[in-house]
Amino acid sequence: MVVDFGEEGMKDAARTGSDYAPISANKNPKGRSPFLDIPHPCHYPLLSAIMDPPIYYSRSEYIETDTGNKVSRRATIAGPQNIVLGGKTIISSGAIIRGDLRRTGPGHTVVIQLGRYCLLGEGCIMRPPYKTFRGAFNYYPMKIGDHVHIGAGSVIEAATIGNHVEIGKNCIIGKFTIIKDCVKIADNTVIPPNTVIPTLAYFGGSPGHFIEDLPESTQEMVEAQSKQYYTRFQALDRQ
C-alpha cells in the first residue's frame, strides 16, 4: 500500500530550475483546474468543493508524483532517499523534512515515513528524534500513519504518529512522543518529550494534557476531511 516516493520525485523536489517540465495532467486527472472548462468563477465541479472552497496553488510551485503526492518546490527536503510518502500527501511550501538525519551505520534506512492523505502545513519542521543511548548518539526513525494533518508552523519530533491524527498550528511535538490513532491536538500545544497520547484523546495546553474524549465517529470524520482537503487542493494554471 505504501508506495515509495521514489528517487526521481524527490530529486525533482529538490530541483529549482525553471526548465522544469510540468508533470502531465493525465497522470492525475484530479489535479486539473476546473477553470479550463468553466468560465464562471463561482462554479466548481464537485459539490464538496461548493460547500468548502477550493484551495488553489500555482501549478509551477508544486510537483505531483505518480501516486498523487504534491510537494512544494519551496519545501526543503533533505535526504529524499530516506523519505517515503504514501501517496496523495501534500507537503506545503516552507516545510522542512530532515531525511538526512539518519541512523549511523551502513545500508539503506527509512528515516521518515508518511502515510496516505497526509498534509504537512506551511513552515512545518519534521525532524527524527535523537538520543544518546549507552553512550552512543543516534537518530531514530519517525513513522506517521494515514490521514494525518499537521498545521502550519508545527515542529514534529515524534517517534510514532498513528492514523487519523490532527495536529494544530504552531504545535511542538517533543522527541519520542507516541501519538496513537484518532487523536486531536489543539493549536499552540507543547507536547513534552516521551509523552504518550492514547487513542481518541483531545490534547492541548503547555505542557499538553488530556482535555476530553473525541466522539466515536472521529475516524470517519477525519478520513472524510482529509480526502476532501486533497480534492480541494487544486492547481491553477495561467491561461
Residues contributing to the site for other proteins (CB under 8 A): 29-30, 32, 35, 37-38, 40-43, 45-47, 50-51, 53-58, 60-61, 92-93, 122, 134-135, 164, 174, 180-182, 190, 192-201, 206-207, 209-210, 215-221, 236-239
Q: Rounded distance, CA 90 to CA 119, Å?
A: 5
Of the two residues 82 and 163, which places its CB atom closer to other proteins in the complex? 163
Q: How far is the CB of 18 from other proteins (least distance, A)?
A: 13
Residue 14's φ and ψ, nearest 5 degrees, are -80, -20
Of the two residues 102 and 147, which places its CB atom closer to other proteins in the complex? 147
Go through 150-164 and write b for each residue having 16 or more CB atoms within 10 A of its CB, e for each that does not.
Answer: bbbbbbbbbbebbbb
Residue 49's φ and ψ, nearest 5 degrees, are -75, -25
Q: How far is the CB of 74 from other proteins (least distance, A)?
A: 8
Q: How far is the CB of 161 from other proteins (least distance, A)?
A: 14
Q: How far is the CB of 45 from other proteins (least distance, A)?
A: 6
CB 230, CB 120: distance < 8 Å? no
Of the two residues 109 and 170, which places its CB atom closer to other proteins in the complex? 170
Q: How far is the CB of 32 from other proteins (least distance, A)?
A: 7
Q: How far is the CB of 193 from other proteins (least distance, A)?
A: 5
CB 213, CB 230: distance < 8 Å? no
Of the two residues 84 and 222, which places its CB atom closer to other proteins in the complex? 222
Of the two residues 35 and 140, which places its CB atom closer to other proteins in the complex? 35
For residue 67, give the nearest of 144, 10, 136, 150 by alpha carbon.
Answer: 10
Q: Rounded distance, CA 95 to CA 157, Å?
A: 14
Of the two residues 84 and 179, which places its CB atom closer to other proteins in the complex? 179
CB 114, CB 86: distance < 8 Å? yes
Of the two residues 108 and 216, which places its CB atom closer to other proteins in the complex? 216
Q: If DSSP codes are grouped into helix, strand and coil, which group holds residue 1? A: coil
List of residues 6+ apart from 154 with CB closer than 8 A: 121, 124, 125, 167, 168, 169, 170, 171, 172, 173
What Rg do the C-alpha atoms of the chain give, in angstroms? 18
